Amino acid sequence: MITVDALVPYLAGALAVGGIAVVVSRRREMIQRWCAWAIGMPLVTGAFWLGAPGAAALAAVAAVIAALEYGALVRAPWPDRAALATALVAVIGTVWLAPDHVLRAVGAGAVLVGVVPLLAGDATGGLRRAGSGVLGLVWLAPLAAVVPLGAAALVLFAAVSIGDIAAYLAGRRFGGPRLSLLSPAKRWSGTVVGAAVAVGVLAAFGVFARDLPTPLVAGLVAAVAVGAPLGDLFESMIKRGAGVKDAAGWLPGSGGLLDRVDSLLAALAVTLLLS
Q: What span, in angstroms and rounded, lies between the C-alpha atoms of 85 and 100?
A: 21
According to DSSP, the residues that pair with 251 across neighbouring strands are 255
On whether the CB atoms of residues 112 and 86 are closer than 8 A, the answer is yes
**Residue 178: DSSP 8-state:** B
Q: What is the pLDDT of residue 155?
A: 92
On whether the CB atoms of residues 141 and 102 are closer than 8 A, the answer is no
- Other beta carbons less than 10 A from residue 143's beta carbon: 26
pLDDT digits (tens, 9 = 90+) for 102-155: 999 999 999 999 999 999 999 999 999 999 999 999 999 999 999 999 999 999
Q: Give the model's confidence band at 25: pLDDT under 50 very low, under 70 low, under 90 confident, else very high.
A: confident
pLDDT digits (tens, 9 = 90+) for 150-203: 999 999 998 998 898 889 889 988 989 999 988 888 899 999 999 999 999 999
Q: What is the pLDDT of residue 223?
A: 97
Q: Give the model's confidence band at 255: pLDDT under 50 very low, under 70 low, under 90 confident, else very high.
A: confident
Q: What is the pLDDT of residue 165?
A: 82
| E-only strand ranges, 58-144 | none
82's CB contacts (< 8 A; 6+ apart) are none
- Lowest-confidence segment of 54-68, 92-106, 167-181 by average pLDDT: 167-181
**How is the chain split into domains, by residue range?**
1-51+150-275, 54-147
On whether the CB atoms of residues 169 and 142 are closer than 8 A, the answer is no
Entry pTM:
0.92
Share of the chain above pLDDT 70, in %: 100
